[in-house]
Amino acid sequence: MSHHSPSIATYTWTYILLMVLLSITVAAAFLPAAITGGDMGIVIAFTIALLKAILIVFHFMHARYAGATVRVFVAAGFFWLGILFVLTMSDYVTRHGIDPRVNDEKVTSSSPLPRSRATTGAYRDRRSEGTHAGPHP
């Protein structure tokens, strides 16, 4: 059976592009906080990671040369991932200003804690929040 697959040259170009993108994403992480602070850093890192993933899926994994059925299956995996992220994040992202605990939290994390409490910091909070039965870990 004959497989349609790209040439070694295509693989090499894909590889070079991947390494260039890796350098860019590392360099971007060291830009001043004014540029990459907050959500911008996530946007830059994620966009580059997505570009790399697309290069790998299309060239290394031959999705470009696959038939329609296989393409639908490839897309389905990422489509469901999209549902997972969009629906969950539409809750978490819009929570600020509604849930008073979100704002309280920022005050507590910046204030110094006694050492014994800080040691169990991550778990201390859960006990105090236990009665709320909130969805936060």
User: Under the rule (CB under 8 A), what is the footprint of other proteins?
Assistant: 1, 3, 5, 8, 11-12, 14-15, 18-19, 22, 25-26, 28-30, 33, 36-38, 41-42, 45-46, 48-49, 52-53, 56-57, 59-61, 66-67, 69-70, 73-74, 76-78, 80-81, 84-85, 88-89, 92-93, 102, 105, 108-110, 112-113, 115, 118-119, 121-122, 136-137
Q: Smallest distance from the beta carbon of 126 to other proteins, in angstroms?
A: 11
Q: Which is nearer to other proteins, 10 or 131 (CB)?
A: 10
> Could you tell me which of 48, 50, 59, 61 has the C-alpha nearest to residue 12?
59
Q: Which is nearer to other proteins, 118 or 132 (CB)?
A: 118
Q: Smallest distance from the beta carbon of 127 to other proteins, in angstroms?
A: 14
Q: Which is nearer to other proteins, 67 or 100 (CB)?
A: 67
